[in-house]
Amino acid sequence: MQTKRFFAEQVLRELQDDYRNMDFKIDEREVFLRLDAVVNDLAKKSYFENWKLTGSTLDEQYITTWEPVVVVDQPNSNPSYLVLPASYAALPRNRGIDEVYPLKFNTTHQPAVIILSHTDFRQFANNPARDMQGRLYAYVQGNRLYFGTCDVGSKYGKNFGVRLVVRDSSQIADDELYPIPADQQQNVITICVEWFQNRRAQPTDSVRDDKDKP
């Protein structure tokens, strides 16, 4: 697998071949930004294709793991919560949250947290099954994941693991391996090249006359 800088160089090389007498140079950092935008867009589309093929599960390549994420125990018996470390893919029934689990597996033997929608949580609140047979459960509200009970950090440990369906290419360093499938590498380069070509084809408004025209 090639690095982000490798793909940026391929884009610049193809642009140089098309415009040998360029009046200005495109900065490598501009190409990095466009590469990230293209790769993230293609990844989002792949979530749904993968979903259709596997039936509500996703390949590991689409999931990012954060450890540890600290749980906040609120006072006065209010429910504990943790702040989700990133925005996740909008998949049906909160499947963008792949898994949440306490890191003290060996001592508590606690399985992964059951993730409910806020509506489901309210429906279960007055139901005899609300204790989920002793399982730890939670629901999403904004950027927080609220547990169905208080003092979760005291009972299960402050540190949890969170696995979300998200890929943010901008977090990948320039010299790290860039996760573009082999069959999509040339497609990504072509999309970036066409974007810069289209941008250069638009004339610049260099006359200051209060009109948005060249």
Predicted pLDDT of residue 28: 85
Mean pLDDT of 87-98: 78
Q: How large a percentage of the chain has pLDDT more than 70?
A: 66
CA distance 156 to 104: 7
Predicted pLDDT of residue 122: 62
Strands 137-141 and 144-147: antiparallel
Closest CA to 89 of 53, 46, 131: 46
Residue with more model confidence, 189 or 92: 189
Residue with more model confidence, 196 or 120: 196
**pLDDT reading at 187 higher than 60:** yes
Which residues, including other chains, have CB under 8 Å from residue 80's CB and lie 6 or more apart?
A: 71, 72, 73, 74, 146, 147, 149, 150, 151, 152, 153
Token pair for residue 135? 């399982």
Q: Which residue type does 84 have?
A: L
3-state secondary structure of 138: strand
Residue with more model confidence, 72 or 178: 72
Instruction: Report how far apart the first and last C-alpha atoms of the chain are (Å, whole number).
Output: 43
Q: Model-level pTM greater than 0.85?
A: no
Q: What is the pLDDT of residues 1-30, one digit of tens each?
A: 688 899 998 998 888 765 444 454 678 889
Mean pLDDT of the chain: 77
Token pair for residue 170? 């901008």
**pLDDT reading at 177 higher than 80:** no
- Does residue 35 contact residue 11 with C-beta atoms inside 8 Å? yes
Q: At what angle do helices 185-201 and 4-18 cross, to 10 degrees?
A: 50
Token pair for residue 55? 């039936």
Closest CA to 102 of 62, 165, 154: 154
**pLDDT reading at 126 higher than 80:** no
